[in-house]
Amino acid sequence: MTMMEFYCLTESEQINMLYRHGVYVGKRKSGKFAVLLYQLDSFYSEVFYYNYRRHIYKIRCSDSMNILDPYLEQIAVEHLVS
Amino acid sequence: MTKEATPKNIVFYADDDTDDLELVQDAFDNYANNVEVVTALNGLQAYSYLQSLGEDDPSPCLIILDVNMPLLNGKDVLKKVRSIPRFDTIPVVLFTTSSSPLDKEFARKYNAGFITKPLDVSQMEAIADLFIEHCSDEIKKNIRKHLL
């Protein structure tokens, strides 16, 4: 599935697609939102919740690796270099 | 004559994500009269708790394990739990963000259920019932009795 095809789905269809075929990558907080990141084929999709795993504020997609940055920043690597 | 209160059914849930712990505890709120949710924050804590249960301590009626946990992951906990005779038939569910066929196959191999963590309210509403479906018929009846 391409990102454009994904955007053409309803929110409910998008959620089902992520649930069945998405690969969970990580979780972060953004202001008052909890955000889950999934990989779906060749793009990434972020689900923003104002009520975690219940009520969705928005779903945002990107095919840029930059979307990974806030998730990578959370990984503690100090012990690897000490 | 006094009547002793019926002990609650213990659902044991291990997850390092405190949001998910809270979510599952909330999901069992409807069954709060009959179910007590006991939690652990990583796999090692989960295994230590289960291993430490004495003969007189009630066993959980259901064990829910996240897969990706620090110290000991959910799959390793499942393997270890199944090696303890007391827990070799207790219902266990792997509750995970994964929908990988390999993880599902692993769960099947160790006689455990597999539930992918929900993504929205429609999936969330059904989650407690999905968990309870993995319990024995007697426990299911016991848990749901106040709803009849």
pLDDT band (50, 70, 90) for residue B4? low
Query: Are B98 and A24 in contact (CB < 8 Å)?
Result: yes
Cβ contacts of B118 on chain A, cutoff 8 Å? 19, 53
Query: Are B120 and A24 in contact (CB < 8 Å)?
Result: no
Tell me, what's the ipTM?
0.85
Determine contact: A59 vs chain B, CB below 8 A: no
CA dist B64 → A28, B69, B94 (Å): 23, 13, 6
Determine contact: A34 vs chain B, CB below 8 A: yes
Residue of A nearest to B121 (CA): A54
Domains and CATH numbers, chain B: 9-147 (3.40.50.2300)
Cβ contacts of B23 on chain A, cutoff 8 Å? 52-53
Distance CA B27, CA B25 (A): 5
Is 50 exceeded by the pLDDT of residue B123? Answer: yes
* Each residue's pLDDT tens digit, A46-75: 999 999 998 999 999 999 999 999 999 988
CATH no. for residue A68?
3.30.67
Residue of B nearest to A35 (CA): B119
Select the residue of B99, B118, B124 nearest A20 (Cβ to Cβ).
B99
What's the structural domain count of chain A? 1
Buried b (16+ CB within 10 A) or exposed e, B26-51: ebbeebeebbebebbbbbbbbbeebe
Task: Provide φ and ψ at A44, rounded to 5°.
Answer: -110, 155
Distance CA B30, CA B40 (A): 21
**Per-residue confidence (pLDDT) for residue B121, from 0 to 100:** 85
Is 70 exceeded by the pLDDT of residue B6? Answer: no
Query: Are B120 and A18 in contact (CB < 8 Å)?
Result: no
Q: Which domain holds residue A68?
A: 3-81
**Per-residue confidence (pLDDT) for residue B143, from 0 to 100:** 84
**Per-residue confidence (pLDDT) for residue A68, from 0 to 100:** 95
**What pTM did the predictor assign?**
0.89
